[in-house]
Amino acid sequence: MPTARESLLDAAFVALAGRPWPMVRMVDVAAAAGVSRQTLYNEFGSKEGLARALVRRETDLYLRGVDQALSAGSGPWDRLAAVAEWTVRAARGNPLVRALLTGCWSERLPAPRPAPPHSSAIVPAQRRADAGMLSPAELSAAVRDRAAAVLGKGRPEEWRTEEGRDELAHRCELAVRLALSYVIAPSGEDVGRLVRNALRVSAPGVSGPSPRVAVR
């Protein structure tokens, strides 16, 4: 059974789908979640606090999907292709994820302001949300680093050196950047296939050097 906090975040997300964030009222969110308005304020402190918590949750859900994509597939490039496909799918289906990845926040969306200095939320989850949202560069780096950490465990004999780790991070970055290009400028071509082809061109053999390594 969802907690009051999760129910409130669900209600806020549904309300956002129907109207611009400035038109979303706290009393309506509380009523939709089946809790009192005081409970809403106890959890989030303010509408800005609710916005920060909502953005933080959608960030976490997107990154959880990245982790799931990395657990699928038989090879490293298939896993990176799955991450790219998930990124494009999540951005198309969730305007908050798209804004987080691109930095383009429309007037309909809650672009949360930073929490006031020295704010001390009573709810631990709110303290984490108040710490601030990730920038597009930070979010992309988080995806890259997650992918490199997972894939590096799968083939330690090839990516255990510093050069190998750098090369793996470069290929993970390439997959993320290709996915972002599809988020910004959608294409009819399958992003997963593009990622696989690009990685195979840059690394015909998984253990062999790519052009990036060769020119060092």
The answer for residues whose C-beta is within 8 angstroms of residue 208's C-beta and 6 or more apart is none
Q: Is residue 124 part of a domain?
A: no
Question: Mean pLDDT lowest for which of 47-61, 114-128, 144-158, 170-184?
Answer: 114-128
Q: Is residue 4 part of a domain?
A: no
- Domains in the chain: how many in total? 1
Q: Is residue 208 part of a domain?
A: yes
CATH number of the CATH domain containing 191: 1.10.357
Q: Which pLDDT score is estimated for 93?
A: 94
Q: How many CB atoms lie within 10 A of CB 94?
A: 17
Token pair 């560069």 in the structure block, residue: 137
What is the rounded CA–CA span in Å between residue 200 and residue 144? 18
The pLDDT tens digits for 198-207 are 998 765 444 4
Q: Is residue 170 part of a domain?
A: yes
- 3-state class (DSSP) for residue 1: coil
- Specify the pTM: 0.88
Helices (H) and strands (E) in the chain, counts: 12, 0
